Amino acid sequence: MNVDPRAAAWARLQLSDIAPRPLVELLRAFETPEGVLAATPAERRRWVPTDAAARLDSPPDAARLDATLAWLREPGHDLVAWGDPDYPASLLEIGDPPPVFYCLGRRELLTRPAFAIVGSRNATPQGCADAEAFGAAMSAAGLTIVSGLALGIDAAAHRGGLTGVGSSIAVIGTGPDRVYPARNRALAHDLAAKGLVISEFAVGTPPLKQNFPRRNRLVSGLARGVLVVEATLSSGSLITARLAAEQGREVFAMPGSIHSPFSKGGHRLIREGAKLVEIAQDILDELGMAAAAAPSADPVVRAEPDPAPVSERL
């Protein structure tokens, strides 16, 4: 299977690490990613600062580009970029949408209404059971469950989401060819087969500490709202919840015992204005969605409207 020229051009731009802002300028000037790459260095310097333009002057590392193109040739592997009709409209609303990201699995899930469920990695068995049950109920109601493929709450939410028509999307903090943590390998393969895995990081990117918080903005950005199930005060899921609030998403939190450290994060969020949640229907009500009429019924999926051309939205 050949990689289409547009995707190949986007992969090259992605590997150049050019910042989004000058990239927007170049796309406005040269219209397509192929056009940006075909322009001469001097032509590109007419539109963007020298340091940004310099990133495109030499071709990317051949081995990395080959690995990326080889990855893209595999069935189910794909690249989504600004301007693609299925680039998620919800991501264009956030401050720094990724120009391009990789995906494995059911790309069509990108246009479904989505909901994020996040929490602590070392959550309690009850917390994980709750995350899975909420994921299943909301997926049954037609929402695609987004999370970060971490251990604990994230993994449980994905598992629940995969049981319903909404399915599940994992936003990962490594390259699309890596699974982290290794204990979630089987789950990652399930997600690639029945759901979707996406990554804004280059093929081959190992787990790097700084990439995981960055990934969180996409978890919340893809979703209409975020539920924090169990979170300590130091949990990264509180960052996701704050990003969600900044992005105008509804934030929900599950309360718990005043004696459990895993309740403290949710309680803080509730004090800050997050909605207290006891059952999945609380969230569906708030989002204006009905629960699944019957387990086998087709969900009432509200498709996002077709996005306007990306250049109008950035």
Residues that bind its own copies (CB under 8 A): 126, 130, 254-259, 263-264, 267, 270-271, 275-279
Q: State in angstroms the smallest separation of the CB of 243 from its own copies.
A: 22
Q: State in angstroms the smallest separation of the CB of 279 from its own copies.
A: 7
Q: State in angstroms the smallest separation of the CB of 121 from its own copies.
A: 21
For its own copies, the closer CB: 19 or 287? 287
For its own copies, the closer CB: 209 or 271? 271
Burial class (CB within 10 angstroms; exposed 0-12, middle 13-18, buried 19+) of 67: middle
| Residue 234, helix vs strand vs coil | coil
Please state, in angstroms and rounded to a whole number, the distance separating the CA atoms of residues 107 and 116: 17
For its own copies, the closer CB: 62 or 258? 258
For its own copies, the closer CB: 276 or 290? 276
For its own copies, the closer CB: 58 or 257? 257
Q: State in angstroms the smallest separation of the CB of 132 from its own copies.
A: 14
Listed in order, strand segments (DSSP E) in 112-190 are: 114-118, 144-147, 168-171
The amino acid sitting at 87 is Y
For its own copies, the closer CB: 278 or 312? 278
Q: State in angstroms the smallest separation of the CB of 141 from its own copies.
A: 18
Please state, in angstroms and rounded to a whole number, the distance separating the CA atoms of residues 278 and 253: 9
Beta carbons of 88 and 222 less than 8 angstroms apart? yes
For its own copies, the closer CB: 282 or 304? 282
Beta carbons of 111 and 303 less than 8 angstroms apart? yes
Q: State in angstroms the smallest separation of the CB of 234 from its own copies.
A: 16
Strands 168-171 and 144-147: parallel
Beta carbons within 8 Å of 208's beta carbon, 6+ residues apart: 173, 174
Q: State in angstroms the smallest separation of the CB of 284 from its own copies.
A: 15
Give 123-127's long-range contacts (Cβ < 8 A, gap of 24+): 123/152, 123/153, 123/156, 123/229, 123/230, 123/262, 124/230, 124/260, 124/262, 127/152, 127/153, 127/156, 127/229, 127/230, 127/256, 127/262
Please state, in angstroms and rounded to a whole number, the distance separating the CA atoms of residues 127 and 105: 28
**Which CA distances in Å does 214 have to 218, 240, 299?**
8, 10, 32
Q: State in angstroms the smallest separation of the CB of 122 from its own copies.
A: 19
For its own copies, the closer CB: 249 or 264? 264
